[in-house]
A = this chain, B = another copy of it.
């Protein structure tokens, strides 16, 4: 029987309404209903490709910051998931949208991309691995929650939805398992490296990351104009 998660739900509760503004952002609702303008999705795709490079760097940093072989191996799997799978899927997926890898790699990073990625890396470099994982959680776990919530929503439409593949990737078992593993790791680390006194600082990191994720959606949405 899986153990009930503790830290992640507390971080979510403490970061409302920032959390809700992120996981129910208009970008996400329009993506689920299929009404999102293509220009918005395309902008998101390019910036998400640039984001993933720093996401892989963050998990490299986690390897360096590990105290035991087990946690090194989990970080290593996330580097591999990013560099071997996600970036590859992104490149395939983007090609279907008329975007070559070279074209994406040459685009400048949007301020929202810089703000979120460098905030996470700075929390991780200046703090310990728990600070880093808490800063990454709105992304890893948030995407799983967003996809699951939208899958259960009456307004969501899969047929003829150009973004169906995106929704199915994140509702898929593989991604949901990865998110569950991240939630469990937060509890394990909070026990081993945390304590109640650390909660306010971690909650501040989590809420700031959620706001920066919402800005990232907003940056996509603003491509329509």
* Chain A residues engaging chain B, CB cutoff 8 angstroms: 53, 56-67, 69, 72-73, 75-76, 79-80, 83, 87, 109, 111-112, 114-115, 118-119, 121-122, 125-128, 131, 190-198, 201, 208, 212, 215
Contacts and interface: CB of A to CB of B under 8 A. Distances in A.
12 contacts: A53-B69, A56-B72, A57-B63, A57-B72, A57-B126, A61-B61, A64-B64, A69-B87, A111-B112, A190-B197, A194-B194, A195-B198
Contacts of A125: 121-122, 125
The copy count of this chain in the complex is: 4
B75 A60 contact: yes
Nearest to A218: B111
Contact of A198 (B69, B122, B192): B192
Given A122-B125, A125-B122, A192-B197, A60 B63 contact: yes
Of the listed residues A66, A122, A190, the one surrounded by the most CB atoms of chain B closer than 10 A to its CB is: A122
